[in-house]
Structure 1
Amino acid sequence: MKSLNLTAGLSPAFRSQALWRPLLAFGLGGLAHLAFAPCDIWWLLPLALAGLMQLVERRSPRQAGWIGLSWGFGLFAFGIRWVHVSIDNFGGMPLLFSLLLMALLCLYLAIYPALALYALNRWFSQSSLSRWLAFPALWLLTEVARGWMLTGFPWLWSGYSQLEGPLSALLPIVGVLGTGLVISALAAALPSLLQRRWGYLSVPVVVVLMTLLASLYQPISATGKQVDVALVQGDIPQSLKWEPENLWPTLVKYQDLSRPHFDADLIIWPEAAIPAPEHLVREFLFQLDWGLSEADAGLITGLISMDTQKNFYNSLMVLGEDPNGPPMNPSQPGRYHKHQLLPIGEFVPLEDLLRPLAPFFNLPMSSFQRGDALQPNLLAGGVTLAPAICYEIAFPELVRQNTHEDTDLLLTVSNDAWFGDSIGPIQHMAIAQARALELGRPLLRVTNNGITAVVDHQGRITEQLPQFTTGVLRAPVELVEGRTLFAQWGQRWLYLLAIAMLLLAVGLGRRAQH
């Protein structure tokens, strides 16, 4: 059978050039970003991946790698364009250099799909069946590598494209990475179906059956208990947040917003709501703690911790819960220190080399130390919370390992003011929704300028504050019990499955050669 001709209608002159395949791949990658928030056109990603598979068919490994690089560059150039808002607005670099830095970041991220396609055509070109098995395995392993190398960048993992689609039912079972594996397996089958290899019809049939069965899986049930929360969104402009003269106006603003809600069970302020090392605000913390204790309310705030060796941590602190006052020792219970730090924003690799180059490498509070990977849950307002600060919510295993059977709520705090009116905060919100769905727990998201929201255990936003407004989101949150399969098993078994698929693909390929 003839293969699907994606160049039909193009001029012979254009078709004769080696450039058309990378250009078309770039366009498909750019389209693929529409499958993610805020557009959520979930069916676009399997089609874009199927087109990528077709473009590399019967190409050399090197050609396949270039095509994969172009596809990845298109995905990330459009999909993470919000990063440039931060670089351009706060980096202090000329536009040309900030665009160059952004292009280098996208090229780096595009290396991972390039490696997947290179390996596919290097070792798995013998039969369509071996390619069908190998592609989803390679895609998963390269997504895992992207989420781990250089501290990891798991943004736009394939599974995040399905939050508004039917495959979202798989998230509590196999998580985001497992859902991405299913998407890529479906995509790998589509070119063969278009070539009328009807045996591959079993793939979408199995995917539909898996989705239907997964939708019947309901391990989580309501406890009948509620917690009354007040989520405070201060909307402090990023240009003012770290100015010393703005510290006390900021503290007064958060205190004044919170005081009418001291009758709530739990009040939460966002990441670094107190924008100063704690020793500078010690008196304020003691006074606030006393007021909360008198009202029998708990409060969790972001602040900058400092230990006796003068190491700084991006932290959360619980106030109003201990009769002896706030936990002023960073090693005391009632603290959480961020583990997954953001490169450049919270620590600078090769800082002796990079810091002198540009103001971008000297952003406020970019010299944090890392907290432990496993830390106790926070106890406040009568509930236990598994916290994740900002970027950490994008790491499923980190959040899962800190979520236990007696964890009542997931909590993520952030300051997305760095990214202005871009798609970044919306994608960040979608990532948090995925964690709630994977782990079967309601989630509270509290930010400086939006999106502040309450998410139920099915990943649905039930209450939300508008972006770029000052306000308090007061809402009851239904507590649940039970554990999802993902909460119990995590995603590491997927790595073994991918390796097994590759070994089987190798065996099938050798058999096809004989």
Structure 2
Amino acid sequence: MTLVTENYHPWSRVCLAFVTGAVGILSFSPYDYWLASLISLSGLQALTLNCTARYASVIAFTWGLGFFSTGIHWIYISINMFSGLPAIANMFLMVILTTYLSLYPLIFINLLNILCPQSLFLRLIVVSPVLWQITEFLRGCIMTGFPWLQFGYTQINGPLKGIAPLMGEEAITFLLVILSGLIVYTIQTRQILAAVSAIILVLLQWPLHSMTWFILVPERTVDVSLVQGNTLPLLKWDGNYLSRTLNTYTRLSAPYVGNVSMIIWPESAIPDLEGNQQDFLKDIDAQLRILGTTLITGIIDARFENNNYCMYNTIIAIGNGTHPYSYLSRNRYRKSHLVPFGEYVPLASFLHSLTSCFKVQISTFSRGEYIQPHLQVAGYNLMPVLCYEVILTQRMRDNFRLETDFLLTMSNDAWFGDSNGPWQHLQMARMRALELGRPLLYSTNNGITAIINATGKVTHTIPQFKSDVLTAKVIPTAGLTPYARVGNYGIWAVTLLFSFIWLISIARVSMGYAKMCRKDF
């Protein structure tokens, strides 16, 4: 069966590609219609069949435009409200980003057409998941990576959820591509066996849902309060707004001091440099140590290191045990993976003239170490990350330890307003808790503040855009999930296996062709 023909209706397929790409976003939070992921992937696979390579590229690129333009439109809110650029420039930046991300589906389809142009079965079920895994890996690495909206996350409430603690989110994405290929193969060939195979694949992993990869440690249950200040990001860096912000967080926290073991404030909750707030931090530290409560907060730290001025997005612990707070303490976390244009400027010298023309002030942060010690807080080991870092699967796993009691994520999603961004962020954080088998404390400035248990379920939450405190008893867990042990090596082993099957198939076809040629001769 050939995959290249000139008989097609150009605009109908292109328009349908945009629609099926956009449909894929319905599988992510806050919609959570997980079947939409299969519809979207099947649409991409089906629409690029039986057409020229150039036309398939147009379809794949358009599918990417539909998927990413609807899925990450929330970034425009941040750019438009806080960048200081004209509206036309903000729109241009969004177009550039969406166009760049849409290149990855285009690359995927082009490689598929080049490497497997004939066999429909191999193309849809064997080669497609391999190439999708590779192109998504590249999307998560090139230019620091943007691995947002990977389809595996859509199964946090879906039937493939049980694969996450076994092989991780990327393995779920791999299986979704196989399932979408089987759907398209069934439609194209009318072979019911392909549909039955898809059902069997889903049923085979169903027992994983009942498997528990961790152990609850109820004797170490801890009282935790997560404070959601709901302060405005546009104002919080204003010096005049500093005292009001600190008063908000201290007022909300006051009833819980002495009554809970941990109080958690979100990313950059203290809107000033740590060096400038030494009196405030030491006064609070003295009070907290007397009453037996530890405060964990985000703050910006600027200091000279190795003859360089370094600024870090930081998490510190105050009132922790018997030792007073110290600016020199190493019991802190420094953000490692920085957000382009938000926390550092790629090609800074090239872009300096552009940003200076519009008087745009973009902070330039320094990177923390890739591997960092856990925070030692009130006798517990917390594995912290800041904001965007929670979506980096391999990085989270590499910093995970057997002695980890909780995962901790601090964020400030107020930059993205009332959009899908914070919901998608929470969905990805839930997957990390499920993969690693640990409860996750999810602290944000204006929501969604939540506590996630080791199965990825949100057990407690605060509504968005509300000043409030979430208090709960959280049970730590112990043990290692298979994914915590081997990380993404498992899915890459499967990828190599599928690649080997494809190469064997090519070899068999080549040998058969060679025999035919010898007979003809």
Partner secondary structure for residue 308 of structure 1 = strand
Match of 2:424 in 1: 427
Match of 2:517 in 1: none
CA contact (8 A) 1:130 1:506 kept: no
Query: Mean Cα displacement is larger for which, 133-142 or 214-223?
Result: 214-223
Q: Distance in 1 between matches of 2:214 and 2:297?
A: 29
* Cα displacement (A) at 1:175: 1.0
Q: 1:390 to 1:360 in 2, by over 3 A?
A: farther
Structure-2 residue corresponding to 1:248:
243
Opposite residue 253 of structure 1, the aligned amino acid is T
Residue identity (%): 37
Equivalent residue runs for 1:96-135 within 5 Å: 96-131=88-123, 132-135=125-128
Matched with 2:175 is 182
Give the AA of the match of 1:210: L
- Corresponding residue for 2:215? 221
CA separation of 1:129/1:341 partners in 2, compared to 1, >3 Å: closer, same or farther? Answer: same
Query: Residue 19 of structure 1: CA displacement?
Result: 3.0
Find out whether 1:43 has 2:35 as its counterpart: yes
CA shift in 2, pair 1:156/1:377, >3 Å: same
Match of 2:455 among 453, 458, 473: 458
Looking at structure 1, the residues matched to 204 and 326 of structure 2 have their Cα atoms a distance apart, in angstroms, of 48
Q: How many residues align?
A: 503
TM-score relative to the length of structure 2:
0.92
Structure 1 partner of 2:147: 154
- Change beyond 3 A, Cα 1:364–1:380: farther
What is the alpha-carbon distance in structure 2 between the residues aligned to residue 163 and residue 493 of structure 1? 19
Match of 1:325 in 2: 324
Q: Give me the whole-angstrom Cα distance separating, in 2, the residues matched to 1:246 and 1:218.
A: 47
Which runs of 5 or more residues in structure 1 are unaligned?
A: 4-14
Output aligned runs, 1:310-321, within 5 Å. 310-321=309-320
Residues of 1 paired with 2:13 and 2:408: CA distance?
A: 44
| Unaligned ranges ≥5, structure 2 | 514-521
Distance 1:365 1:476, change over 3 A: farther
Q: Does 2:264 match 1:268?
A: yes
Using the TM superposition, give the Cα deviation of residue 342 of structure 1 relative to its aligned residue in structure 2, in angstroms. Answer: 0.4
Q: Deviations over 1:356-401 (max 9, x none)?
A: 3247997666210000111011011221110010000010111111
Residue 484 of structure 2, aligned match among 487, 495, 510:
487
Contact map agreement 1:442 1:479 (CA 8 A) in 2: yes
Task: Name the CA shift for 1:216/1:37 in 2 (closer, same or farther; >3 Å).
Answer: same
For residue 287 of structure 1, the aligned residue among 280, 283, 286 is 283
Mapped contact 2:448–2:461 kept (Cα < 8 A): yes
SS of 2:205's equivalent in the other structure is: helix
Query: Given that residues 85 and 360 in structure 2 are in contact (C-alpha distance below 8 angstroms), is that contact kept between their aligned partners in structure 1?
Result: no
What's the TM-score once normalised by structure 1's chain length?
Answer: 0.93
1:235 equivalent in alignment to 2:230: yes
Q: 2:246, 2:378 → 1: CA distance?
A: 21
What residue number does 1:378 align with?
Answer: 375
Q: Which one is further off, 474-483 or 446-455?
A: 474-483
Q: Which residue of 1 aligns with 2:392?
A: 395
- Partner SS, residue 353 of structure 2: coil
Do the aligned partners of residues 229 and 364 (structure 1) sit closer, same or farther apart at CA in structure 2, a change above 3 Å counting? farther
Q: Give the letter aligned to residue 175 of structure 1.
A: G
The 1:425/1:361 distance shift into structure 2, 3 A limit, reads: farther
Cα distance in 2, alignment partners of residues 265 and 490 from structure 1: 32
Shift of 1:510: 4.8
Matches within 5 A, 1:192-207: 192-194=185-187, 195-201=189-195, 203-207=197-201
2:117 and 2:2 map into 1 onto residues whose CA distance is 17
2:263 maps to amino acid: I
Shift of 1:2: 12
Paired AA for residue 203 in structure 1: S
Report the Cα offset of residue 18 of structure 1.
2.5
Say which SS state the counterpart of residue 373 (structure 1) adopts. coil
| Counterpart contact for 2:121–2:185, Cα < 8 Å | no
1:18 to 1, 10, 15: 10
Whole-angstrom distance in 1 between the partners of 2:378 and 2:357: 39
Compute the RMSD of aligned alpha carbons: 2.1
What corresponds to 1:169 in structure 2? 162
Distance (whole Å) between structure 2 residues aligned to residue 361 and residue 395 of structure 1: 33
* 1:318 aligned partner, one-letter code: A
Q: Structure 1 residue 93: deviation in Å? A: 2.2
Are the aligned partners of 1:127 and 1:509 in contact in 2 as well (CA < 8 Å)? no
Match of 1:410, SS state, is strand
Q: Report deviation, 1:454.
A: 0.6
CA distance in 2, matches of 1:230, 1:170: 32
What is the CA distance between 1:61 and its match in structure 2? 3.1
The Cα offsets for residues 220-268 of structure 1, whole Å up to 9 and x where unpaired, read as 1211131100101111111211001111221222122212111211011
Residues 404-443 of structure 1: pairs in structure 2 closer than 5 A: 404-443=401-440
Would you say the 8 A contact 1:338–1:388 is kept in 2?
Answer: yes
In the superposition, relative to structure 1, how do residues 421 and 121 fare at CA in structure 2: closer, same or farther (>3 Å)?
Answer: same
How big is the shift at 1:209?
2.8
Q: 1:41 to 1:142 in 2, by over 3 A?
A: same
The secondary structure found in structure 2 opposite 1:367 is coil
Check 1:100–1:486 CA distance in 2 against 1; reply closer, same or farther (3 A cut).
same
SS of the equivalent of 1:500 reads: helix
Deviation at 1:444, TM superposition (A): 0.5
Distance 2:105 2:394 in 1: 22
Kept after mapping to 1: 8 A contact 2:315/2:333:
yes
Task: Name the amino acid aligned to 2:386.
Answer: I
Residues 58-67 or 394-403, more deviating: 58-67
Q: Which residue of 1 aligns with 2:472?
A: 475
For residues 8 and 185 of structure 2, the distance between their equivalents in structure 1, rounded to whole angstroms, comes to 25
- CA distance in 1 between counterparts of 2:236 and 2:251 reads 17
Deviation at 1:308, TM superposition (A): 2.4
User: Could you say which residue in structure 2 is the equivalent of 1:91?
Assistant: 83
Structure 2: how far apart are the matches of 1:182 and 1:16?
30
Moved more, 485-494 or 209-218: 209-218
Aligned mates of 1:216, 1:475 — CA distance in 2? 26
Contact 1:126 1:509 in 2 (8 A): no
Q: How far, CA to CA, are the matches of 2:506 and 2:357 in structure 1?
A: 49
> 2:26 aligns to what?
34
> What does the per-residue CA deviation read over 1:419-456, in whole Å, with 9 as the maximum and x for residues that have no partner?
01111001111111111111111110111111111111
Q: Residues 345 and 301 of structure 1: is their aligned pair in 2 closer, same or farther, counting only changes over 3 Å?
A: same
